[in-house]
Amino acid sequence: MPFCEKKCPYCDFYSVSYCRDTARLYTDAVIRNIKAYRGNAEIDTIYFGGGTPSILPVEFITSILQAVNENYIVNEAEITIEINPKTVNTKKLLQLRKMGVNRVSIGVQSCVDSELEALGRIHNYDEARKTVLSAYKAGFKNISCDLMLGVIGQTVDSLIYSINQLCKLPISHVSAYMLKIEENTEFNKQNIIDSLPCEDLVSDMYLLMVENLEENGFSQYEISNFSKIGFESKHNLKYWECKEYIGIGPSSHSYFNGKRTAVPNSLQDFIELDRQTEIVTEENPGSFEEIAMLQLRLKEGLCLTKFNNKLDSIMNKAIPFEKMGLLTISDNTIALTAKGFLVSNAIIGGLLL
């Protein structure tokens, strides 16, 4: 849902300013596309990502969910919506819950107001905390919060403070991202790299965060994702486990019918066309390289039993990394450690190339 009240200075996802009329046309287009993909697909996760999906009126969300239910076989699905604090109230949360949405992912980012301000967020921590509590009261038992590392002004102490605050809340999942300055963002233009915490500090923060979250019952299951047992994001796991998914909307990505495709960044095209334009990004997904690259992001790691012909060469390359404490090898499975996750690009490259 490519609408935001205000573009965050670090964000390079596609989004436009929210306007109710456009959002209505957009919702219609989403529904047209949902019907167009209709098949015998069984669906067990639905994800409203952003942008800021929570900015849309509940009836728009409802009509989209209805279209999914009418056109697909939906079984006990995990239905997530991304929420930004200050864009919802208790009433809206109750309505969403009632419509079948059962998971919320809340963009808290930090529990320190000065850091939120540095990130250009429109909310303060108290507002974020209230949003989490409202969601819980509205009946959401699966609440995820975003946390950001490497924010301007962030220190080890302030990070620990944020983690402790989050862990006091009734949540079951944390997504923790290290701030990266992307091209075409406000932060990039401002050239703020020098004022960010240095690489070493952010690395220390990451390791400390993994430790702290684990102590609080949030197990790491992916580079940036932590959850209480059983509360892993089923939807995000599909990405790493190389399972199929349909993405709808400008800038969305799909892995469907044996191909990986992407939709161009044009809201106007999306609204005007009968069906969204699909550009093939991968003709033959599911290669070993792809599977390995994605599964190595998971705590569970990459099991090589099915890839007998790769086993020896990869294991040999893995041994030096194991000695450095960057991964563990057991049976036929290679799994990165927290320290390894920090340099996962290099390890994945080292193992696969």
Partner 1 sequence: MSIDKIRNFSIIAHIDHGKSTLADRMLEKTYTVAGRDMEEQLLDNMDIERERGITIKARAVRLTYKAEDGEIYVFNLIDTPGHVDFNYEVSRSLAACEGAILVVDATQGIEAQTLANTYLALEHDLAIVPVVNKIDLPSADPERVCGEVENVIGVEAMDSPKISAKLGTNIEAVLEKVVKDIPPPTGDENAPLQALIFDSFYDAYKGVIIYIRVKEGKVKVGDEIRLMATGAEFTVVETGYLDATSFNNVGELKAGEVGFITAAIKDISETRVGDTVTLVDNPCEDALPGYRKVNPMVFSGIYPADGAKYGDLREALEKLQLNDASLSFEPETSIALGFGFRCGFLGLLHMEIIQERIEREYNLDIITTAPSVIYRITLTSGEVVFIDNPSNYPDLALIESAEEPMVRAEILTPSDYVGNIMELCQDRRGVFKDMVYLDDTRVNVRYELPLNEIVYDFFDALKSRTKGYASFDYEMLGYVPSKLVKLDIMLNGDIVDALSFIVHTDNAYARGRKIAEKLKDNIPRQMFEIPIQAAIGGKIIARETVRAMRKDVLAKCYGGDITRKKKLLEKQKEGKKRMRKLGTVDVPQEAFMSVLKLD
> Interface residues with partner 1 (CB under 8 A)?
13, 47, 49, 175, 177-178, 180, 199-200, 202-203, 206, 223-225, 236, 238-239, 245, 247, 252-255, 260, 262, 281-282, 289-290, 293-294, 320-321, 324, 326, 341-350, 352-353
- For partner 1, the closer of residues 33 and 225 by Cβ is 225
Neighbours of 312 (CB within 10 A): 10
* Range 289-295, long-range pairs (CB < 8 A, 24+ positions): 289/352, 290/242, 291/242, 292/348, 292/351, 292/352, 293/348, 293/352, 294/239, 294/240, 294/241, 294/242, 295/240, 295/241, 295/242
Residue position matching structure tokens 């920090």: 342
At 186 the three-state DSSP class reads: helix
- For partner 1, the closer of residues 10 and 60 by Cβ is 10
Measured from the CB of residue 342, what is the shortest distance to partner 1 in angstroms?
Answer: 5
What gap in Å lies between CA 322 and CA 336, rounded to an integer? 9
Measured from the CB of residue 133, what is the shortest distance to partner 1 in angstroms?
Answer: 26
Measured from the CB of residue 241, what is the shortest distance to partner 1 in angstroms?
Answer: 12
Measured from the CB of residue 293, what is the shortest distance to partner 1 in angstroms?
Answer: 6
Measured from the CB of residue 120, what is the shortest distance to partner 1 in angstroms?
Answer: 17
End-to-end CA distance of the chain: 37
- For partner 1, the closer of residues 98 and 156 by Cβ is 156
- For partner 1, the closer of residues 207 and 303 by Cβ is 207
- For partner 1, the closer of residues 234 and 238 by Cβ is 238
What gap in Å lies between CA 148 and CA 251, rounded to an integer? 23
